[in-house]
Amino acid sequence: MQLPVRRAASRASGRATSVTYEGGSADGATWHLGFQNPDDEYVAVEQGNGRASKFVAAVTHGAAKTGGTQRVGDARWERWEGPKYDALVREERGVTTVVTGTAPFGQLAEMAAALKASKSS
């Protein structure tokens, strides 16, 4: 199954530390890209097309929806907070995008703003 990939379009993201892709499972396809940002905080971009609630809980290590939102560009992202990671979450057209990590919400929003849609081949 194809995902409309969102990629970081900024060098400010920092140093890439991890990358994974899992396709075709019963839970859909997922990919992950982790960074150590310039402030030495961890930030990850996660995307999946399976059940959103299960996916977000897994990639945020149990963060919970706060009920709040954050505007990033023209889009509203849900704010999630957790004991390990906080996150910004956006669902559109069956795909869930999560920007998560130890970084404060302002830095998560910077990463979310750097994501640009790209058609997969």
In angstroms, the CA 45 to CA 99 distance is 5
In angstroms, the CA 67 to CA 53 distance is 14
Average of per-residue pLDDT across 47-60: 93
Residue 4 has a pLDDT of: 53
In angstroms, the CA 30 to CA 113 distance is 20
How confident is the model over 60-80, as pLDDT tens digits?
999 999 999 999 999 999 999
In angstroms, the CA 99 to CA 90 distance is 9
